[in-house]
Amino acid sequence: MNQEINQSLFLLGSSHQVADLAARERISLPPDSIDEFYNGLGKIEGLDEYLLLNTCNRTEIYGAAQKSFSFDSLGKYLSNFRKLDPDFLSQHSYQRNDHEVVDHLFKVTSGIDSQMVGETEILGQVKKAYEDACQRKAAGKMLNRLFQKGFQAAKWARTNTGISRGQVNLGNVLCELARRIFGKVSNCRLLVVGAGEVAESTIEAFKSRGSQAITVTGRTFDWCPLCRNKPAELAEKFGGFALSFEQFKESMHLFDVILTSTASGKSLVDYGDIKKSMKKRPSQPLFLIDASVPRNIEEKVSQIENVFLYNMDDVSTIANENLKSRISEVDRCKGALARRAVKLWEQMTQTREIS
């Protein structure tokens, strides 16, 4: 006999598309709360499978659910968990159902929906989120198929279109900004606070342009549950130096470029820290990049003379300067991915024979 699949796909999310940096900071989940959040998801009625994607630019919950599932229950849960007014979450989030979820994920994995259109880091972040959900046994047959097809769609997009022309990633953009400020990237002394993919891509980009003075530090030299890297190991991988976190503030004046990319959820560098550092490097500019959400660097430091502070919103604006030259490829990619999404959803919702 034939049996219809009675599950549907859903997505509740917030990203740069609907929320500014301040709003994303309020919605984003602190790393040390992920276990608790997943435990709560498992108690929502009708929710069979679920996956959390929590990055610097987006917080998204994907799931497969029965007819008894209600979007309102998920929105209420997230609002309560993050202590948000329900109206605030509603204003800064979006909902997707069924084939819209497939289409959205394809655009996310390919970089089409990214703040820096065509960037490459997001695919690795989605893969880690998927692996985490699988380890928790939160992802089942439906999400497994969705995300495996999402990874295939990303590979197709990067192989067959020009959306990533120019190697769009944060590291390359930061190198270009450093070049504008200092003239030569090879002369820049780089300090990276953190050890995740953003940190690694930045180090790789600076290294490829001749930078030799590369130093890595982190809140702890133990394993980081989010980035799965040790600062010391990352430094060793690229022939750089490891700096004790307890020493990094006193050493900031030695560097030209400082990137913070941590999941600490709090400010690590304030106005006084930078003011003190600049007194030790008179007339020398300092380039600060805060790639963390919530932010690690106090915004007020941008008022200090010769200090250039950029956050993720600033960087994405610069990264998309050449978007006009790629717009035809972006549109072509969107159309192709949309067709692939419709086809996959039709396959997923076909009736199946039960012997």
Tens of pLDDT, residues 295-339: 999 999 999 999 999 998 888 887 777 666 677 888 889 999 999
d(CA 137, CA 47): 13
Say whether 170-305 and 2-165+328-353 share the same fold: no
What local confidence, expressed as pLDDT, does residue 117 receive? 86
Residues of the chain with pLDDT under 50: 1-5, 221-228, 351-355
CATH code for the part of the protein at 170-305 = 3.40.50.720
- Whether this model's pTM surpasses 0.85: no
As a whole number of angstroms, the distance between CA 208 and CA 183 comes to 16
- How much is the pLDDT for 219? 76
Q: What values do phi and psi take at 180, rounded to 5? A: -65, -35
CA 186, 227, 89: angle at the middle one, nearest 5?
110
At residue 315, the pLDDT reads 84
- So where are the chain's domains? 2-165+328-353, 170-305
- pLDDT score at 54: 95
- Asked if 52 and 139 touch (Cβ cutoff 8 Å), the reply is no
The top-level CATH class assigned to 2-165+328-353 is alpha beta
Active site residues: 56
Identify the pLDDT of residue 322. Answer: 64
